[in-house]
Amino acid sequence: MDTNGLRLFVLAADKLNISAAGYALGLAPSVASARLAKLERTLGADLFHRSTRKVALSLEGAEFLPYAREMLAQEDAALAALGKGNSKATGVLRFTAPSSFAQLYIAPIIPDFLALHPGVTLDLRLSDMQFDLIEGSFDLALRNSPLEDTAMMGRKLADDRRVLCAAPCYLDRMGTPMHPRDLSAHSLVAFKDQSARPISGPDGPAGHLDPRQAHCRLIVDDGTAMKHATIAGAGISMNSLWSVHRELSAGLLTRVLPDFEVVDRSVLWLHYPKANVLSAKVRVFMDFLLERIGTAPAWITDQLGGARGLD
């Protein structure tokens, strides 16, 4: 029997959410659903009752759950007997991540991780500059770009949605753009060498956000600096939703062109060097980040809760 399917089933049973269980294991929702369906076909029983609004364990699923847990425990014990799959995490873990994201979401939960794993020491390199993982001897990195290096592997942490925003004082002074073509008359705050991004609307493609062809008088290389300059009224900027969702909720920033969407496929990935065996210290840290950040990202739950300026 496929133990990967069993792990997904147990996690989905604990969360009562198949998609969240799949994300925690680095699986897309469609892949997670297909893997569970394969397990159900193998067992000849429906393990969950599914509807468009919720997931619940079936009677067969509830009866099978303790046996699934036992099979996984037996597998872990068998691997440990062979000197593999050691669940005790020890040693120094070198981790690099963008400074602005780490300050908001990783640094506050580090004490909890250290308390859970007293044998692990974290060596953090927090910078918006991307280090080479192999040359820098890093165990793990957070990136907002897809995995391209064949020497690396990765697990998705969360989506990285981009939004346009500005300070209320700037919009009071300069007016509020109603269409992407109006951006050419506004001051933009942008990253150095920021590439053009398509913008889509209710009726399809609606233009581009291109700092090189707009009135861009402030160029930065740090996301936090961009956010603070935007709050101070420097202009309109494109930001990751995780960076500005609190400021949008508090009214310090206002969503610009809320009926339009910046077409940007950025995703937050956890990258690690390809190896035959994933060390326990890396595995438990990835699982911790996926559980505490990726399962229900604050910037997504705020949005679903109807935070001001996000709808």
Question: What is the structure's pLDDT at 308?
Answer: 39
Of the listed ranges 70-84, 111-125, 187-201, the one predicted with least confidence: 70-84
Query: Can you tell me the mean pLDDT for 172-197?
Result: 86
Q: Which residue has the higher pLDDT, 36 or 192?
A: 36
Region 274-283 average pLDDT: 69
Identify the band that residue 70 occupies on the pLDDT scale cut at 50, 70 and 90. confident
Segment 250-262 mean pLDDT: 93
Question: Is 214:188 a contact under the CB 8 Å cutoff?
Answer: yes
Residue with tokens 């603070």: 228
Mean pLDDT of 138-162: 77
Average pLDDT score over residue span 246-255: 95
- pLDDT number for residue 185: 86
The mean of the pLDDT values for the chain is 83
At 90 the pLDDT is 78
Amino acid at 220: V
pLDDT, residue 298, reads: 75
Residue 115 DSSP symbol: H
| Residue 307 confidence (pLDDT) | 42
Could you write out the DSSP letters of every residue in 266-277?
-EEEEEEE--SS
| CA 100, chain centre distance (Å) | 14
Report CA-CA distances (Å) from 74 to 17, 63, 68, 79.
25, 18, 10, 9
Share of the chain above pLDDT 70, in %: 85
Please, which residues bridge with residue 92 across strands?
A: 121
Q: Which of 62-76, 218-232, 237-251 has the lowest mean pLDDT?
A: 62-76
Instruction: Answer whether residue 139 shows pLDDT above 70.
Output: yes
More confident: 79 or 225: 225
- Predicted pLDDT at 282: 85
Name the 3-class secondary structure at 139.
coil
pLDDT digits (tens, 9 = 90+) for 166-183: 999 999 999 999 998 888
Residue with tokens 């780490």, as numbered in its chain: 102
91-97 sheet: strands from edge to edge: 120-126, 91-97, 140-143, 267-273, 152-159
Mean pLDDT of the 27-33 span: 89
Read off the pLDDT of each residue in 279-303 and give the average, rounded to a whole number: 82
pLDDT at 169 (0 to 100): 97
Mean pLDDT of 124-146: 78
Give the model's confidence band at 102: pLDDT under 50 very low, under 70 low, under 90 confident, else very high.
Answer: very high
> What CA–CA distance (Å, rounded) separates 25 from 30?
13
CB 271 within 8 A of CB 143: yes
Residue 82: pLDDT band with limits 50, 70, 90: low
Residue 294 has pLDDT above 90, yes or no: no
Residue 86: pLDDT above 70? Answer: no
- Assess whether pLDDT exceeds 60 at residue 56: yes
Q: Reply yes or no on whether the pLDDT at 311 is more than 50.
A: no
Q: Tell me, what's the pLDDT at 76?
A: 64
Q: Which tokens hold the place of 20?
A: 């969240």
For the chain, domains (ranges, CATH) are 3-81 (1.10.10.10), 91-159+266-300 (3.40.190.10), 162-262 (3.40.190.290)
What is the arrangement of strands in the sheet containing 261-262, beginning at the earlier edge strand? 204-209, 197-201, 261-262
CB contact at 8 A, 23 and 157: no
Residue 115: the pLDDT is: 94
Q: Which whole-number Å values give the CA distances from 81 to 78, 85, 86, in the listed order?
A: 5, 9, 9
